[in-house]
Amino acid sequence: MAKIGFIGTGIMGHPMAANLQKAGHSLFLSAHHDPAPADLVAAGAIALATPKEVAQEAEFIIVMVPDTPQVDDVLFRADGVAAGVGKGKVVIDMSSISPTATKAFAAKINEKGAQYLDAPVSGGEVGAKAATLSIMVGGDADAFERALPLFQAMGKNITLVGGNGDGQTAKVANQIIVALNIQAVAEALLFASKNGADPAKVREALMGGFASSKILEVHGERMIKGTFDPGFRISLHQKDLNLALQGAKELNINLPNTANTQQVFSTCAAIGGSNWDHSALIKGLEHMANFSIRDKK
């Protein structure tokens, strides 16, 4: 069993770390970044003061924090991970961040003699708890093979996409697809409801045809019931679409539908919905239409 440092035990990181612990691995947590969850400590996890100390104790160091600046801080602050790594250690960033920054972070870690994997995930809090996450990995094949048992304790669909940065590129692509599918479902249900049809029955009918999707199944139901407690917050999806749009600018390509969906998310944020689940994108469309599919007729 491996000695694993885990930094970032929030909505996603906490259950991911718990699943590693259940698989028999030893955990070291950085109390400086997040208070060590009591249940993990009670089950044997050791809380240390800094990311550097975590890196010194662990063979694998997993980072799961919200955005690029937080990863930069955890890795390269004076008492950060980079100060504690060396030959034989593997740093695994499972956050969703900039592919460009990831390549720079990997180069710095490799200079220390360690290996670096970018391994963002998809599946939300539900997938994190159930250990069914999709994990998209960028990095060397030998580091991937070493880390594979860890990934298998947290996910099901695990793919080595390519070199450093390619895992993050795949995650950005994933977030484009998810966002546009959410908007497609939201627009369809809004259209159906405004036209007098029962959106729940329309969803039921569509689930049996070519329009069927996981988004229609799960988020379509959330839209109809109005259950928008976050599994994945709108603010985080906005962050991921910003990565897509910034990358598109760097690549000199146009992503018009991604830009449009980002604008609808911005409408949600403007009416107080930054912390709603991303399925609440429909509320931005409803706001513009002055109509809710959940209103009683």
Query: Which residues participate in catalysis according to the annotation?
Result: 171
Interacting residues of 252 by C-beta distance below 8 A, sequence separation 6+: none
- 224/279 Cα distance (integer angstroms): 10
Asked if 71 and 105 count as a contact pair (C-beta separation under 8 A), the reply is yes
Pairing of strands 121-122, 133-138: antiparallel
- 285/283 Cα distance (integer angstroms): 5
E strands in the chain: 3-7, 26-30, 46-48, 60-63, 90-93, 115-118, 121-122, 133-138, 155-162
- Residue 5 structure tokens: 């440092």
Interacting residues of 199 by C-beta distance below 8 A, sequence separation 6+: 189, 192, 193, 223, 224, 293
